[in-house]
Amino acid sequence: MSDYKVIGIDLAKRKLHFAAINLENKVVLKKAMDRKSFFENLSIMFPKSETFVFEACGGAHYMAQRLESMGHKAILLKPKDVKAYAKVRQKNDINDSIAICKASCDPDLMHVKAKTVGEQEISYLHKARQNIIQQRIQHSNALITSLFELGYLVTCGKSTFAKTCQNFVNLALEEGFINKTIADQMLLDCKEISQLIVREQMLDKEIAARNRCSEKAKILETIPGIGTINASILSIKPVEAYDSAKDFAASLGIVPKQNTTGGKIILGRITKQGDRYARTMLIQGARSLLMRSYKKNMPQGKLSEFIERLKEKGKSFNVMAVAIANKLARITYGCLISNSNYQVL
The string of pLDDT tens digits covering residues 101-149 is 999 999 989 899 999 999 999 999 999 999 999 999 999 999 999 999 9
Check whether 82 has a pLDDT greater than 70. Answer: yes
6 exposure class (CB count in 10 Å sphere: 0-12, 13-18, 19+): buried
pTM for this structure? Answer: 0.89
pLDDT band of 313, cuts 50, 70, 90: very high
Q: Calculate the CA 141 to chain-centre distance.
A: 26
Check whether 250 has a pLDDT greater than 80. Answer: yes
The string of pLDDT tens digits covering residues 174-197 is 999 999 999 999 999 999 999 999
Predicted local confidence at residue 196, as pLDDT:
97
Predicted local confidence at residue 179, as pLDDT:
95
The string of pLDDT tens digits covering residues 35-71 is 999 999 999 999 989 999 999 999 999 999 999 999 9
Check whether 3 has a pLDDT greater than 90. Answer: no
Predicted local confidence at residue 86, as pLDDT:
85
pLDDT band of 17, cuts 50, 70, 90: very high
Per-chain mean pLDDT for the chain: 93
pLDDT band of 1, cuts 50, 70, 90: low
Check whether 30 has a pLDDT greater than 70. Answer: yes
Cβ 173 vs Cβ 185: under 8 Å: no
Predicted local confidence at residue 259, as pLDDT:
83
Provide the greatest CA pair distance for the chain: 83
